[in-house]
Amino acid sequence: MNKDQSKSNQKSLTIVIKIGTSSICNEVTHFPLLSNLSAIVETVLSLRALGHRVVLVTSAAVGTGLRRLNMAEKPSKLAARQAVAAVGQGRLMALYDDLFGQFSQPVAQILLTKNDLADRSQYLNAVNCLEELLEMSVVPIVNENDSISTQ
């Protein structure tokens, strides 16, 4: 059996990979752990090469924002944490886009809150968007929308 036949005989799965902040952001300096991020990208690309659909769920918007703003620790005020997350989310997506872009792999940002998942209509919109992205061979990168989330 050749490689193409083996690939076509395998069942295609949708695989969700969850990456926590401590896996991709140094807990003291808040610098991104580029070797870990690169390994994640390579894993996603390997799974896609096997014919699987991959959704990446990531954290680290706040950690990345702390680094970008040269802050040592999370602010205690909710609005300040939300602002730090807003700064960090853009930087985090830029890192993912750069790393996946080296392999011409498009990515998309999906930001959700608990309310988005609790409301049936919004939930279905999110599911439909994810399905469409996967059909387009895009890797969806999902994160909580910390800039408006209250938790």
Q: Which residues contact 116 (CB under 8 A, 6 or more apart)?
A: 122, 123, 126, 145
Contact status, residue 151 vs residue 82, Cβ threshold 8 Å: no
pLDDT digits (tens, 9 = 90+) for 26-69: 999 999 999 999 999 999 999 999 999 999 999 999 999 999 99
Specify burial of residue 18 (Cβ count, 10 A radius: 0-12, 13-18, 19+): exposed
Residue 12 gets which letter from DSSP?
P
- Which residues neighbour 9 within 8 Å (Cβ) at sequence distance 6 or greater? 1
On the question of pLDDT at 76 being above 80, the answer is yes
Reading the block at residue 41, the tokens are 């990208």
| Other residues' Cβ atoms within 10 Å of the Cβ of residue 97 | 16
Q: How confident is the model at residue 144 (pLDDT cuts 50, 70, 90)?
A: very high
Query: Does position 1 have pLDDT exceeding 90, yes or no?
Result: no
Residue 8: which residues within 8 A CB-CB, separation 6 or more? 51
Q: Does domain 3-144 have CATH number 3.30.1200.10?
A: no
> Where in the chain are the domains?
3-144
Average of pLDDT values for 117-125?
95
**Helix 61-68 to helix 78-101 angle, to the nearest 10 degrees?**
90
